[in-house]
Amino acid sequence: MRERLSVESYVTGILAGDRIMLSRAITITESRLPEDKILAQTILQNVIPKTGHTIRIGITGIPGVGKSTFIEAFGQYLTSLGRRVAVLAIDPSSKKSGGSILGDKTRMEKLSNHSLAFIRPSATGLSLGGVTRNTRETMLLCEAAGYEIILVETVGVGQSETLVKGITDFFLLLMLAGAGDELQGIKKGIMEMVDAIAVNKADGTNENAAGQAVSEYQNAVHLLPATESGYNVRVIPCSALEGKGMDTIWQMVEEYVVVTKSNGFFTKNRQLQNIDWMHDTVRQTLEDQFYKNTAVKELMPDIEKAVRKGEKLPGQAANDLIALYMKSQISSLKS
């Protein structure tokens, strides 16, 4: 097992922009060991003053839309401007084995080798929503290390859109033309969350179809209620393969930041996200403690067996386990 360094070593390395030390600190935050959790919180507390001065961009889209290719092209454009970019690429974990591929570094080979870029693939584990339970902490560590723009790539399924929206400033949805009836494929919930839509692969023989898709998405956007941010959602074509549209997308992000900072939404949104983070941590901590409880672990096989056989309703089984957990906690307090 690799030796744990002192808090000072981690903090000094992170603030100096040491990518190896940053990676090690992120690994500490992802650890489930109690001593690592304490160490991670201490590191974060020490680097907090150097965080928050960034732009956090969430990027989502269905599998096959070209998220990794887009992020590499967009990241290369940003680094060409001299901006330091961190990419947090979330890989889905197998619910059966718990494993994940973690292949984003190989899919973003050019960007991963750039001195101004840092790519961190992480597995979702058993976290819901296509982000890891430590994505927020990783984001703060990258900010403390001097990265100015944080790109969060999701797996693009299920709840991922909602959760990534809840940890980023600007939310970009990548879409495709010619993948069926575009308007029928739009989920209203997602459309109400996004700050911009980019129709990718607008190149070659697909360019005209992409232009038509842009028009259809623009019409759909106009039917939505006014955004809370005060920024009007825009739809543009782009080609990650050819690098087209990257400048326009960055211009949209910059415009969004100007608008939302001037009307106060930017700061308010960050504050609300921190409150959500607190509540999420409470839920995660209680869940961890529940499943680690000795009494619960002993009874769980029998309860699961009763549920499988239909002898006990799932809701009642859950209530029995919670009651057992509460009883054991009270007993431990009395002893």
Q: Residue 310: which pLDDT band, with cuts at 50, 70 and 90?
A: very high
- Own/partner contacts of 272-279, CB < 8 Å, gap of 24 or more, are 273/166, 273/167, 276/166, 277/136, 277/167
pLDDT value of position 98 = 43
Confidence of residue 2 (pLDDT cuts 50, 70, 90): low
Could you report how far apart the first and last alpha carbons of the chain are, in Å?
36
Average pLDDT, the chain: 87
| Full 3-state SS string of 157-217 | CCCHHHHHHCCCCEEEEEEECCCCCHHHHCCHHHHHHCCEEEEECCCHHHHHHHHHHHHHH
Among 124-133, 173-182, 216-225, 295-304, top mean pLDDT goes to: 295-304
124: confidence class by pLDDT, cuts 50, 70, 90: low
pLDDT for 3 beyond 80: no
Q: How far is CA 313 from CA 92, 258, 298, 322, in A?
A: 30, 53, 19, 14
Q: Of 69-83, 109-123, 127-141, where does mean pLDDT reach its minimum?
A: 127-141
What are the tens digits of pLDDT across the range 185-203?
Answer: 456 667 788 999 999 999 9
Q: What is the pLDDT of residue 133?
A: 73
Tokens in use for 206? Answer: 């697909």
Average pLDDT over residues 154-180: 77
> Mean of the pLDDT values across residues 24-32?
92
Is the pLDDT assigned to residue 223 strictly greater than 90? Answer: no
* pLDDT band of 107, cuts 50, 70, 90: low
Confidence tier at 1 by pLDDT (50, 70, 90) = low
The percent of the chain in helix, strand and coil, each rounded to the nearest 5, is: 55, 15, 30
Q: What is the pLDDT of residues 50-102, one digit of tens each?
A: 999 999 999 988 778 899 999 999 999 999 999 999 999 876 543 444 434 44
pLDDT for res 126: 43
230 secondary structure, DSSP code: S
What 3-state class would DSSP assign to 142? helix
pLDDT value of residue 163: 80
Percent of the residues in the chain that have a pLDDT greater than 70, as a whole number = 85
Q: Tell me the whole-structure pTM to 2 decimals.
A: 0.88
